[in-house]
Amino acid sequence: KMYEFFNQIPPIFFALIACFFRASLCAEGLVNEDVKRTLDLSSHLAKITAEIQLANHGASRVSGFTLALEAELAPHLAFIGASVKGEEEEDESLELKETTVHGQSGKFFEAQLPSSLAPGAKLRVKVETVFSHMLKPFPTHITQAERQLVVFQGNHYLYSPYPTRSQTTRVRLASKTVESYTKLGNPTKSDETVEYGPFKDVPPFSQDAMKIHYENNTPFITISSVTRTIEVSHWGNIAVEETIDLRHTGAFLKGPFSRYDYQRQSDSGISSVKSFKTILPASAQDVYYRDEIGNISTSHLQVLDDSVEVEIRPRFPLFGGWKTHYIIGYNLPSYEYLYNLGDQYALKIRLVDHVYDDQVIDQLTVKLILPEGARNIHVDTPYPITRSQDELHYTYLDTFGRPVLVATKNNLVEQHIQDVVVHYTFNKILMLQEPLLVVGLFYILFFTVIIYVRLDFSITKDPAAEVRMKVASITEQVLTLVNKRLGLYRHMDEVVNRYKQTRDTGALNSGRKTLEAEHRTLSNDISALQARLKAEGSDLAEKVGEIQKLDNQLKDLVCRSCQEAERLVAGKVKKDAYIDSDKTLSGKRQELVSRIDSLLDAL
Amino acid sequence: TRSCLLCVKMTKLGFLRLSYEKQDTLLKLLILSMAAHPNTCLNELFLVGSYFNYRTTRFLTEEGFYKFHNWFDDRAWYPLGRIIGGTIYPGLMITSAALYHVLHFFHITIDIRNVCVFLAPLFSSFTAIVTYHFTKELKDAGAGLLAAAMIAVVPGYISRSVAGSYDNEGTILSQRYVVYSNAFKKASIGKVLEFVKYQIETYTLLFKSLVLFLYWLMLGKISPWTGRFYSLLDPSYAKNNIPIIASVSEHQPTTWSSYYFDLQLLVFMFPVGLYYCFNNLSDATIFIIMYGVTSMYFSAVMVRLMLVLAPVMCILSGIGVSQVLTTYMKNLDVSRPDKKSKKQQDSTYPIKNEVASGMILVMAFFLITYTFHSTWVTSEAYSSPSIVLSARGGDGSRIIFDDFREAYYWLRHNTPEDAKVMSWWDYGYQITAMANRTILVDNNTWNNTHISRVGQAMASTEEKAYEIMRELDVSYVLVIFGGLTGYSSDDINKFLWMVRIGGSTDTGRHIKEHDYYTPTGEFRVDREGSPVLLNCLMYKMCYYRFGQVYTEAKRPPGYDRVRNAEIGNKDFELDVLEEAYTTEHWLVRIYKVKDLDNRGLSRT
């Protein structure tokens, strides 16, 4: 019969037993010598800290231990952390790995000790846990005048796989008003605290329902979802935008909302939330706070030394069950968060940031937009997070899209405000792509405009306009030619001056020759243009003729001043006489030039 | 302008020896580009109509054209609904949606909201350019430039084309002027025949439609919106027959002061331009004379049509000012004051030069004051969104009343998706766009009876109103109340219109306007007020618990700062309603309609 019985047990059972033995083996002999538990229920979170003195009463060294959570509490767990209290008052945090313990319900974590514990040795461990949505409003619906009461249901004892020698439990509440609390072991209550214990010799996995019903008017707001978008630009900016859905998860408002009472009586709607503070990084700039229907005018910004504080005031006070939605965004300088070595880049930025004190985020979505062309992306997260399929994002001047990393996580609290590091490679040449694109675009634009202006698209011929255009182009040419010719004279003056100093007749003669030659060609060109103007029937031809006449006189003057200089150098004329004649000549020239100028202006 | 001057100086100094033609083009370009520079400001939608247009545009971009075309809106006019795709003019929405898609094709990821906000300034800058061309066809380039500069700042047009006013009116002008100037260009080229043909065609079309209109008129098959056109032809028509049109402030006759406020200098220069046009009669000038005079008439009928008048005023004033300036500029003796020229002075026209420079100085002064006036008016009256109110506090600081959005946003997030909101029709578009809730009546006042039903509910006692609200399936009621802040265009001040409109249909025959007056014929909310008024739903919703509030020092509680009276009915409870939300400054009050009690009996 016995044989049959063993036959019926599936082999998996043996495997499980083996597992259990292994798990209990490494912990065998461990005892919680002294446990100090603190239940902080003063906010809308349940923060449970336990300071445990572990002792190894076994025969062998122990390299790790197991942490346990009650099955009722486990789904609410937002954060768990364990640290060893060293002698030098320096806490060393331990790495936790989730495990299972056969035959026991709940959630278990395996903590690895930095150095194994010898038989008989003791160790002080601090375990910190944060639970969200543990405090249930009761009654669930209250009126505006009523105060908010909540119920906490937990365990009087430390839930542990090891026997406990002695333990105390201290509960911190949000107010003095307590409706009821379980009275195990005659607890003492003073002001806002209830102290249980000490309980002696508690066996492993002990549970005894603790229930506290008390007043708690702290802001019961929950971020039901937040989407945090971080857009990195290599031009020196990181843009952060958070889209937040906020909900008051306390007792629902029953009946009317009276603005009169709310404004008159300070304790009316005491559990409602009017505003809260969001702390942004110190270098945050261009902060905006808006929603679907525009800018929210009720907010204050305060720039402090080490942070930027935004007083976020939703459009309306949040009562129980009410919700709101808003967007907050700001810019950060990238040099504080982006590091590079050649083409290797590393971005170190907070995965989630502060929204309000004691925050709870039910659902977080992080979108990290990297610059276009970033490759070999590798992400280091401070805690496990679910990565979704990468996306592509297109914005101004993008051609093949920016890579977007998407990650989600549920149930986060303040302890999750930690840095994420993203490594990627980026070719710096790609930085030039966008400016070049703009340049090219403008080039094409101007080019088309030039082409459009140069070509005649009209189907009818307008002879008058054509003549006008022709005349305009001819006068344009005349202008440049005349200016050039005037330039020749100025050049000749320089030649003469140099001659007066160097007395080099050869240079003067060659200068005169070039003047003659160039002047002839220019004058011929102008005459030709004048003839064309005449042919077009424009009266400007006469003016050009006048310019030609004046120019002849001008040229004569230039020649004369040249001759005078020669005579001076040859000693045929005295210096005083030369200066006099030069003055009159230049005066005449000035007059001629100004007359030519005024004629040119009239063209 | 400074760059213009600089450029002129440079040409004078010979740095840029440009031909006159080129100088001219450069100046024109500079002036036009300045005139066409869009007037931009906040990134908010201003006018009530804009919200509806924005909503439809968003629908078009998100859902596509076919869905838009077949769009039946069940969010408005509950329980009737409204066929939007078939009843609106989709040009505006299609333009912005096309713009949006083109921009997004090039990965310029502009929000559709920004496209809507900046469409009007964009088109108004087109208007400036087109006005230039149009006026150039009428007179010359100088007048065109002046007209363009004037239209760039004229408050009457800016009020409708400032960033954030997203409406057909702001964009239509530029398109219309393109047609006009093209027509005149055709005429001036010499293809007069074609133009005449075109004109005849339009006239026959007009005539046909007029005949059709009269035919409808005879059959009595006029749809309600034609009322607005009626009132154009006969200003007293609306006042006597259709209270809903008369109740809109935009449809009130224009006062003299608002002409000056919106047009300033143009009022005086308009006749000058007209005079010039009469002196130089041609097809084009006759057209502009007719256009000017008829729009003058229309603008006098309704304030709203100031928009039609403002551009033609700019054109005619541009012509007038340019004419005055050219006349006197010629007389200005710019040559250096040599002794010789002084002797040659015209004996028939003494001090010619002095008169000319005096006139030019006066014109310059007028033009400068016009710019200052326009800037002032625009910044004071037309630059703040009507949704956000502001006031000066005791210490001179600005207090912002953002109550409308507070209330709408509360509705959006804290009422059931399918809640039906009853309010006066003025707030309909805003509620659908901002609160995203179903409403009974909105600014598209197509169904007079439905609006009248809402008016009846507001004007009735709680008991009667409850019946109407149950019948219309109302879950929330929204009223605007200015008694605490002194906001005068609130629902109590609009209440008489609700009474009139409510009483204008068969179901509301028992509602008589004179019941709401005191025996001496006054509309009062204090103890002397008519008991019918003091017990109607609107009164109770506005003043619920207001009787306990101290609003001003040395006044009894419940002192209404708009009506300047202590309210007459202070202590009352609401039977069928429950205060759901009241904004910070009590501007918007929202009430929840209570359900029938357990036995299904009425609450009262």
Residue B88 in 3-state DSSP? coil
With 60 as the cut, is the pLDDT of residue A276 above it?
yes
> In chain B, which residues have their Cβ closer than 8 Å to the Cβ of A295?
43-44
Q: What is the pLDDT, as a whole number, of residue B3?
A: 38
pLDDT in tens, B131-183: 888 888 888 888 888 888 888 888 888 777 776 677 776 666 666 666 666 66
Q: 């809903």: which residue's tokens?
A: B244
Give the number of other CB atoms < 10 A from CB of residue B177: 22
Closest approach of chain B CAs to the CA of A573, in angstroms? Answer: 39
Q: Give the amino acid at A387.
A: R
Maximal CA-CA distance, chain A? 154
Using alpha carbons, select from B539, B3, B537 the residue that is nearest to residue B529: B539
Give the number of other CB atoms < 10 A from CB of residue B559: 21
> In chain B, which residues have their Cβ closer than 8 Å to the Cβ of A323?
413-414
Lowest mean pLDDT among A287-291, B62-66, B392-396: B392-396
Closest approach of chain A CAs to the CA of B217, in angstroms? Answer: 43
- Reading the block at residue A471, the tokens are 């005349």
Q: In this complex, which of B14, B409, B579 lies closest to A256 when CB atoms are compared? A: B579
What is d(CA A199, CA A184) in angstroms, rounded to the nearest whole number? 10
pLDDT category of residue A445 using cuts at 50, 70 and 90: very high
Instruction: Tell me whether the omega of the peptide bond preceding residue A139 falls within 30 degrees of 0, making it cis.
Output: yes
pLDDT in tens, A323-376: 999 999 999 999 999 999 989 999 999 999 999 999 999 999 999 999 998 999
Residue-range domain boundaries for chain A: 18-215, 221-429, 463-602
Q: What is the pLDDT, as a whole number, of residue A475?
A: 83
Q: What is the DSSP letter of B16?
A: S
Using alpha carbons, select from A289, A330, A285, A328 the residue that is nearest to residue A303: A285
- Best residue of B413, B427, B583, B586 to probe chain A, by most A CBs closer than 10 Å: B413
Q: Please, which residues 34-53 of chain B have a Cβ atom closer than 8 Å to chain A?
A: 43-44
Q: 């545009």: which residue's tokens?
A: B57
With 90 as the cut, is the pLDDT of residue A278 above it?
yes
pLDDT in tens, A164-189: 999 999 999 999 999 999 998 889 88
A324 and B CB contact within 8 Å: yes
Q: What is the pLDDT, as a whole number, of residue B205?
A: 53
Task: Determine, for residues B409 and A256 on separate chains, whether the beta-carbon distance falls below 8 Å.
Answer: no
B434 and A CB contact within 8 Å: yes
Q: Give buried/exposed letters for A443-462 (b at 16+ CB in 10 A, else e).
A: eeeeeeeeeeeeeeeeeeee
pLDDT in tens, B242-289: 676 667 777 778 888 889 988 888 999 999 999 999 998 887 888 888
pLDDT category of residue B239 using cuts at 50, 70 and 90: low
pLDDT in tens, B547-585: 999 988 888 999 999 999 999 888 899 989 999 999 999
Q: What is the pLDDT, as a whole number, of residue B113?
A: 83
A440 and B CB contact within 8 Å: no
With 60 as the cut, is the pLDDT of residue B42 above it?
no
Q: What is the pLDDT, as a whole number, of residue A46?
A: 94
pLDDT in tens, B578-603: 999 999 999 999 999 998 776 666 55
> In chain A, which residues have their Cβ closer than 8 Å to the Cβ of B44?
294-295
Q: What is the pLDDT, as a whole number, of residue B489?
A: 85
Mean pLDDT of A129-135: 94
CATH class (in words) of the domain with range A18-215? mainly beta
What is d(CA A526, CA A535) in angstroms, rounded to the nearest whole number? 14
Instruction: Tell me whether the omega of the peptide bond preceding residue A114 falls within 30 degrees of 0, making it cis.
Output: no
Q: What residue in B sits closest to A252 (Cα-Cα)?
A: B414
Task: Determine, for residues B409 and A394 on separate chains, whether the beta-carbon distance falls below 8 Å.
Answer: no
**Predicted-assembly ipTM surpassing the 0.90 threshold:** no
Task: Determine, for residues A260 and B545 on separate chains, whether the beta-carbon distance falls below 8 Å.
Answer: yes
Q: What residue in B sits closest to A321 (Cα-Cα)?
A: B414
Q: What is the pLDDT, as a whole number, of residue B342?
A: 47
Q: What is the pLDDT, as a whole number, of residue B101?
A: 92
pLDDT category of residue A26 using cuts at 50, 70 and 90: very low
pLDDT in tens, B284-343: 888 888 888 888 888 888 787 788 888 889 999 999 999 999 888 888 765 545 444 444
CB B565 within 8 A of CB B526: yes
Residue-range domain boundaries for chain B: 401-416+447-593
With 50 as the cut, is the pLDDT of residue B517 above it?
yes
Residue B295 in 3-state DSSP? helix
pLDDT in tens, A550-591: 888 888 888 888 888 888 887 787 888 888 888 888 888 888
- DSSP-assigned beta bridge partners for residue A226: A244, A364
A257 and B CB contact within 8 Å: yes
Task: Determine, for residues B414 and A298 on separate chains, whether the beta-carbon distance falls below 8 Å.
Answer: no
B579 and A CB contact within 8 Å: yes
A476 and B CB contact within 8 Å: yes
Q: What is the pLDDT, as a whole number, of residue B23?
A: 65
With 80 as the cut, is the pLDDT of residue B240 above it?
no
Closest approach of chain B CAs to the CA of A263, in angstroms? Answer: 9
Q: 């009169």: which residue's tokens?
A: A260
Closest approach of chain B CAs to the CA of A224, in angstroms? Answer: 13
A463-602 CATH: 1.20.1420
What is d(CA B491, CA B483) in angstroms, rounded to the nearest whole number? 10
Q: What is the pLDDT, as a whole number, of residue A24?
A: 45
Q: Mapped to the 3 state alphabet, what secondary structure does A154-182 carry? A: EECCCCCCCCEEEEEEEEECCCCCEEEEC
DSSP-derived pairing of the beta strands A285-291 and A294-295: antiparallel
> In chain B, which residues have their Cβ closer than 8 Å to the Cβ of A257?
579-582
CB A418 within 8 A of CB A350: yes
Q: What is the pLDDT, as a whole number, of residue B128?
A: 82
> In chain A, which residues have their Cβ closer than 8 Å to the Cβ of B583?
259, 316
Q: Please, which residues 61-120 of chain B have a Cβ atom closer than 8 Å to chain A?
A: 107-109
CB A182 within 8 A of CB A227: no
> In chain B, which residues have their Cβ closer than 8 Å to the Cβ of A293?
405, 408-409, 412, 433-434
CB B475 within 8 A of CB B114: no
Q: Is A88 exposed, middle or buried (0-12, 13-18, 19+ CB in 10 A)?
A: exposed
Cα A579 to chain center, whole Å?
76
The rounded mean pLDDT for chain B is 79
Q: What is the pLDDT, as a whole number, of residue B29?
A: 72
* Candidate ranges A139-148, B67-76, B387-396, B440-449; pick with highest mean pLDDT: A139-148
Closest approach of chain A CAs to the CA of B403, in angstroms? Answer: 9
**C-alpha to C-alpha distances, B118 to A324, B50, B162, B594, nearest whole angstrom:** 28, 12, 8, 44
- Best residue of A221, A225, A257, A272 to probe chain B, by most B CBs closer than 10 Å: A257
Q: What is the pLDDT, as a whole number, of residue B340?
A: 46
A221-429 CATH: 2.60.40.1730
Task: Determine, for residues A297 and B107 on separate chains, whether the beta-carbon distance falls below 8 Å.
Answer: no
Give the residue, A535 or A385, on which the prediction is more confident.
A385
> In chain A, which residues have their Cβ closer than 8 Å to the Cβ of B584?
259
What is d(CA A411, CA A360) in angstroms, rounded to the nearest whole number? 7
Question: Distance from first CA to last CA of chain B, Å, rounded?
Answer: 71
pLDDT in tens, B192-235: 445 445 555 555 555 555 555 555 544 444 444 455 566 666 66
With 70 as the cut, is the pLDDT of residue A13 above it?
no
Q: What is the pLDDT, as a whole number, of residue B173?
A: 65
Answer yes or no: same fold for A18-215 and A463-602: no
Mean pLDDT of B362-368: 93
Give the residue, B170 or A397, on which the prediction is more confident.
A397
CATH class (in words) of the domain with range B401-416+447-593? alpha beta
